Amino acid sequence: MYYHGNWIRTVDDAAGSQDSFSAAFTEGLGRSVTMDGQLQLQGTQTAADGTCKLLFQLQGEGAAGTVEAVIIPVSRPSSRRPRTTLCISSQVGCAQNCQFCFTGRMGLQGNLSTAQIVEQVVEARRHVAVHQARVASGALPPAQQIAPITNVVFMGMGEPLHNFEAVRRSIAILCHPQGLQLSHNKVSVSTVGLIPEIRALVATCSAQLAVSLHATTDEVRDWIAPVNRRYPLEHLMGTLEELFPKHAAIRQRHGRHVLFEYVMLQGVNDSLEDARRLLVMTQDIECKFNLIGFNPHPGTRFRPSPPERIAAFGDILRSAGAVCTVRESRGDDGMAACGQLGNVKAASGVAPLLKPPLQFAEALATAPSR
């Protein structure tokens, strides 16, 4: 099923080719394993910008729920050629209850298996291959061509490091020469800050680490990312300074950095003072910054920071020599953008909204829902 360009769904699909299996092997295999990891594609939804959301249904005894993955075509003037990023999920729902995240409103319904994580990548590559064939045949215009998937990010539903072993094993398959042949530096794992698992990931895997920071004070982070109550900023920053020190002699041994993701929430974490604190907090960490415009969803109390505020925030970081990019919002008209994945209505119990610090209550009072 991993053979590039031959994304078979069953062993029977290989019949008649040099990669076919013997009848005895096929019969024995069919009784003991599945080819889809008990994760079946239920449908797709394409946004106006070409972003495509894949909806999967969990199968098997006792299985329940759906998960989503997102195919994101990327074409920038600065890039030599178009590329495609795939955002995949590691859990059904999420236990972290980040207040601005639609998935976090679901609570945790279950962990995905290694096979179910890998199957999202296989199905996405299958989808792109079919799409490319339709363009080649003239059934779709050349303007709708999608480049092959080269980057995979664990930034979909769930906290990847809360399902550590399955995620670690799936990365090994994605990057294996006889697996899906991705480069480790093209696989990114995002975490809200589970410190023991961060240490384990860095020690055992070469994938890129991304930390969802989103605040520069414990007061704000305790509220919008409650994991901070277990692992406060001082502990988190100290750990990252140890693992990604900004000292050339040490850095040259592994050449790695951490990517800080920062969702910009109007009146909550987007002040210029926040930008200055962010520089101080990370001054001894080899890092880059990715500012993310907040994508509203039904029931949210937050508002996205205005573009000019995001630009001013980024200018402060860049003026100090930091590498800072602004993530373009993709797929938000199809609920496929960052922070919009999931089905809160299908959750057995919606995660609680936490009381904001008093000084932010007014900023949220008029926040629209969409």
**pTM as predicted:** 0.87
Per-residue pLDDT of 186-214, as tens digits, reads 999 999 999 999 999 999 999 999 999 99
Q: Please, what's the largest Cα pairwise distance for the chain?
A: 70
Active-site position among 68, 159, 241, 286: 68
Query: What pLDDT does 351 receive?
Result: 77
Q: Are 65 and 109 in contact (CB under 8 A)?
A: yes
The pLDDT of residue 104: 83
The domain ranges of the chain are 39-365
Q: Is 197 among the catalytic positions?
A: no
- Mean residue pLDDT of the chain comes to 85
Q: Is the Cβ–Cβ distance between 80 and 92 less than 8 Å?
A: no
What pLDDT score does 369 carry? 42
Q: How confident is the model at residue 226 (pLDDT cuts 50, 70, 90)?
A: very high
Burial 57-87 (b: 16+ CB within 10 A, else e): ebeeeeeebbbbbbbbbbeeeeeeeebbbbb
Least confident of 34-48, 171-185, 327-341: 327-341
328 part of the active site: no
pLDDT digits (tens, 9 = 90+) for 231-277: 999 999 999 999 999 975 554 545 689 999 999 999 999 999 999 99
- The residue type found at 270 is D
* Residue 289 pLDDT greater than 90, yes or no: yes
Burial class (CB within 10 angstroms; exposed 0-12, middle 13-18, buried 19+) of 352: exposed
Residue of higher predicted confidence among 125 and 177: 125
Please write down the HEC assignment for all residues of 60-111: CCCCCCEEEEEEEEECCCCCCCCEEEEECCCEEECCCCCCCCCHHHHCEEEE
Token pair in block for residue 190: 């995002």
Does residue 112 surpass a pLDDT of 90?
Answer: yes
> Which pair of structure tokens corresponds to residue 70?
């997102």
Report how far residue 246's alpha carbon sits from residue 335's, in angstroms, rounded to the nearest whole number: 38
Q: What is the pLDDT of residues 74-110, one digit of tens each?
A: 876 655 678 899 999 999 999 999 999 888 888 899 9
For 238, the token pair is 């100290």
Report the pLDDT value the prediction gives residue 174, as an integer from 0 to 100. 95
pLDDT in tens, 308-318: 999 999 999 99
Q: Do residues 272 and 232 touch, judged by C-beta distance below 8 A?
A: no
pLDDT of residue 47: 85
**What is the CATH number that goes with domain 39-365?**
3.20.20.70
User: Which residue among the candidates 159, 273, 338, 362 is catalytic per the annotation?
Assistant: 338
Helix (H) or strand (E) holding 325: strand 324-327
- d(CA 181, CA 239) in angstroms, rounded, equals 31
Q: Contact, 231 vs 195, CB < 8 A?
A: yes
Tell me the HSE value of 134 on the side-chain side, using a 13 A CA sphere: 13
Least confident segment among 2-11, 40-49, 122-131, 160-169? 2-11
Higher per-residue pLDDT: 287 or 24: 287
CA distance 252 to 143: 42
pLDDT given at position 11? 60
pLDDT of residue 5 exceeding 60, the answer is no
Separation of alpha carbons 360 and 367, rounded Å: 11
pLDDT confidence band for 177 (50 / 70 / 90):
confident
Gap between the terminal Cα atoms of the chain: 40
